[in-house]
Amino acid sequence: MPSHALVIEDLVKRYKGGLLALDHISLKVKRGDFYALLGPNGAGKSTTIGIICSLINKTSGRVQVYGHDIDQDFAAAKRMIGLVPQEFNFNSFEPINEIISNQAGYYGISPNLAKERTEYTLEKLGLWQKRKNTPRELSGGMKRRLMIARALVHDPQLLILDEPTAGVDIEIRRSIWELLQELNAEGRSIILTTHYLEEAEYLCKNVGIINQGKIIIDTSLRALLDQLKQETFIFYLQDALATAPKLENAHAQLSDERTLEITPNTTLSLDELFAELHNLGIRVRSMRNKSNRLEELFMNLVSK
Amino acid sequence: MTIIEQLIALRTLFLREIYRFSRIWVQTIVPPIIMVALYFIIFGKLIGSQIGDVKGFSYIVYIVPGMIMMSIITNSYANTVSSFYSCKFQRHIEEMLVSPMPTYIIIWGFVSGGVARGGLIGLAVSLTATLFTEIHVYHVWLLLLVTLLTSILFSLAGLVNAVYANSFDDISLIPTFVLTPLTYLGGIFYSIDMLPPFWRELSMLNPILYMVDAFRLGMLGVSDIDPLLSLSVISAFVIVLYAVVHLLISRGVGVRS
């Protein structure tokens, strides 16, 4: 088994109107990785995914999936991929068990095995009771899960999800996260695009950021967060304060009499900060980050 | 994909097409039967009884092969054009594009559905015709061969239309402005021997004429054109259209950016 689930080399996509959507991008995703591909709208994320999955023709460059070139060995490469697209793309009039078993058939899976896998994936995604319904009769969250079931029916090793939790409520989002973590723990490589940066921070090991058709960051999530030089914390206080305290290695300001915003210097640990607050007689009830750390970093990177 | 896997994929597409047009039988199966029944009543019984024999057959018997062929043509075309365009419109064509199915399996999957619907409607129209007149079978193998080749041809033509279609209007333009006139002028209701020389020569440019004429030979044993020429013309169209469809779909015209 090759060490990389996906290797993209010098990939270019220029659309008919002349728009350069991908400008010589190269990317490697390790086998078993949980990789976030981030970027603002129109950055080239969906184009990249479309090319990997043969939905968009590339202008030039190479793509390999588990060592199989998508041009020269397209059947083997396609077998490795399960795609969960951004928008619903079902036949609205087809019962969902037929949608799943037909998808298995397109991969050459025998009817008996297709039936077994259809049952297994629909059970796994909590849709077995709805198997006779058509997609029109499903809720938004169920449709998302149906797309995941369809992508899994041929047992792919690389699962690609294009904004899988867009527009779903928190409960469903959490259940999708748990499922994805489970699939990753089984050894499947996962590539995820998302606009919810806390989703990437919660799930992913490595991150690529694409902007204006170029990869501007390709690193581990840890290394990316280490680039963050300053963080602001919000402390909710037990007792009211009249003025903000003067701290040695941090800047503090009051939002209201019981809410204190503190931006510590990079040299100051949270232990030291808590000790200083304690010495000043300030008791903390709870605290949180002022903003999502990854979001802050993301905004800095793409606005450069 | 191995040969077996390809056959499984083809079977899946074929059954999917059968289920699709069976689910909407009120739109796909009933209307052509009602339409030809009306043709038989009006042109066959009411007007046909005022017209003399054509090539030794009563008028209603003479038009039966053309009516069956017209149903096969319109239904095999309608099946692929609506099915493939619907796949594009709802974007579930992507289910096929992401799979390892080779282009020719996708094409033959849709074509097999068109052939099945064309054949089924042809059979239903033949049975309907028995309510109004007797049915003749002169060359059963020729009938089957012409039915198969014609339904393949128009299934492929429907795919070409669907590939280029960008709206539901686009899938009705060709049937309305090209297919229907060519079918009506393709010798369904008359023998081209009845036409003046200029119009007779012009009719020879109409490919549907060859299909209707070969089918009539298979049913009644009379024809205006050498059947070998008819079969050659139909086969040539099938080959050319298949090459066009294969080129379009493998390049992703209309389905990939």
pLDDT tens sequence across B133-184: 888 889 999 999 999 999 999 999 999 999 999 988 898 888 888 888 888 8
**Contact between chains at B257 and A150 (C-beta distance less than 8 A):** no
pLDDT at B109 over 90: yes
What ipTM did this prediction achieve? Answer: 0.88
Which pLDDT score is estimated for A17?
87
Q: What are the pLDDT digits (tens) for A68-120?
A: 999 999 999 999 999 999 889 999 889 999 999 999 999 999 999 999 999 99
Q: How many CB pairs (< 8 A) connect A and B?
A: 84
Residue with more model confidence, A156 or A288: A156
Q: Which of A91, A93, A108 sits opposite B1 (nearest CB)?
A: A108
Number of domains in chain B: 1
Q: How far is B120 from chain A (nearest CA, A)?
A: 22
CA angle A172, A176, A180 (to 5 degrees): 170
**Chain B residues touching residue A110 (CB < 8 angstroms):** 8
Tell me, yes or no, whether B255 lies in a domain. Answer: no
Tell me, yes or no, whether B182 lies in a domain. Answer: yes
Which range marks the domain in which residue B29 is found? 3-250
CA angle A37, A9, A199 (to 5 degrees): 10
**Chain A residues touching residue B86 (CB < 8 angstroms):** 91
Of B85, B98, B107, which to mutate for an interface test with A (greatest number of A Cβ within 10 Å)? B98
**Chain B residues touching residue A74 (CB < 8 angstroms):** 100
The stretch A269-277 carries a mean pLDDT of 88
CA-nearest residue to A160 within chain B is B98
Considering the domain delimited by A4-225, tell me its CATH architecture. 3-Layer(aba) Sandwich (3.40)
Closest CA to B77 of B19, B121, B30: B121
Q: Give dist(CA B9, CA B95) in Å, integer.
A: 12
Q: Give dist(CA A52, CA A58) in Å, integer.
A: 9
Which pLDDT score is estimated for A12?
95
**Chain B residues touching residue A87 (CB < 8 angstroms):** 91
Q: How far is B112 from chain A (nearest CA, A)?
A: 15
Closest CA to B158 of B236, B72, B232: B72
The domain spans of chain A are 4-225, 233-302
Tell me, yes or no, whether B257 lies in a domain. Answer: no
Average pLDDT value for chain A: 89
Tell me, yes or no, whether B33 lies in a domain. Answer: yes
**Chain B residues touching residue A44 (CB < 8 angstroms):** none
Tell me, yes or no, whether B112 lies in a domain. Answer: yes
Specify whether the CB–CB gap between B44 and B59 falls below 8 A.
yes
